[in-house]
């Protein structure tokens, strides 16, 4: 049985038909065409499906669409610049060679958006813990951590918050 939900997705209010048992990942990918949301483990363990719901990172494969009524959902498609340019976080991932096959990248970037959004300065060890829910089989995490350290530091220096 389909139901209708209203939520804000990437800054635009959306009214979407969905199955009441449907994951947010399925709704975003299959009904809204937001394919940055990857389905990896479908058990909330790999982080490939990470999106922000009201500013908090969630594994959308185990997060029901029904829980998003009236909420704001942000995916990688929603963080690009006004002219389609990469966000500073995406640019840091490119410049630090933190992207290889790209499957885990959207989820890691969304976690980075949450991390940067806190306005806090994090040590490399703290960043390791914050991304521990993500699996990457290509990069070995060093370049990912380099990108995250860089963007956290640049944001902190720019805004001067801790």
Q: Where residue 33 sits, what CATH number does that domain have? A: 3.10.20.30
Specify the pTM: 0.94
The answer to whether residues 108 and 130 belong to one domain is yes
Note whether residue 30 is domain-resident: yes
The answer to whether residues 95 and 155 belong to one domain is yes
| pLDDT given at position 158 | 81
Note whether residue 112 is domain-resident: yes
The answer to whether residues 63 and 22 belong to one domain is yes
The answer to whether residues 56 and 14 belong to one domain is yes
| pLDDT given at position 160 | 64
Tokens, residue 101: 């096959």
Distance of CA 66 to the CA centre of its chain: 19
Q: What is the largest CA-CA distance in the chain?
A: 51
The answer to whether residues 65 and 92 belong to one domain is no
Report d(CA 124, CA 116) in Å as an integer.
14
Render each residue's pLDDT in the chain as its tens digit; 162 residues: 799 999 999 999 999 999 999 999 999 999 999 999 999 999 999 999 999 999 999 999 999 999 999 999 999 999 999 899 999 999 999 999 999 888 999 999 999 999 999 989 999 999 999 999 999 988 789 999 999 999 999 988 887 654
The answer to whether residues 72 and 29 belong to one domain is yes
Structurally, the chain folds into a number of domains equal to: 2
The answer to whether residues 10 and 42 belong to one domain is yes
Note whether residue 20 is domain-resident: yes
31, 16 in Cβ contact below 8 A?
Answer: yes
DSSP class of residue 136? Answer: -
Note whether residue 63 is domain-resident: yes
| pLDDT given at position 138 | 87
The answer to whether residues 133 and 111 belong to one domain is yes
Collapsed DSSP state (helix, strand, coil) of residue 99? coil
- Domain hosting 62: range is 2-78
The answer to whether residues 61 and 118 belong to one domain is no
| pLDDT given at position 162 | 47
Note whether residue 83 is domain-resident: no
């Amino acid at each position: 049985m389909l139901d209708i939900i209203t939520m804000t997705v990437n800054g635009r209010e959306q009214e979407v038909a969905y199955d009441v048992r449907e994951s947010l990942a399925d709704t975003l990918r299959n009904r809204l065409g937001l394919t940055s949301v990857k389905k990896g483990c479908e058990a909330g363990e790999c982080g490939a499906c990470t999106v922000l719901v009201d500013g908090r990172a969630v594994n959308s494969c185990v997060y029901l669409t029904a829980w998003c009524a009236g909420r704001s959902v942000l995916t990688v498609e929603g963080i690009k610049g006004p002219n389609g340019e990469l966000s500073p976080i995406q640019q840091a991932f490119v410049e630090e060679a933190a992207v290889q096959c790209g499957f885990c990248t959207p989820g890691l970037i969304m976690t980075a958006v949450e991390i940067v959004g806190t306005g806090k300065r994090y040590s490399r060890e703290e960043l390791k813990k914050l991304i521990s829910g993500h699996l990457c089989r290509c990069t070995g995490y060093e370049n990912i951590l380099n990108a995250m350290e860089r963007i956290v530091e640049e944001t902190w220096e720019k805004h001067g918050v801790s």
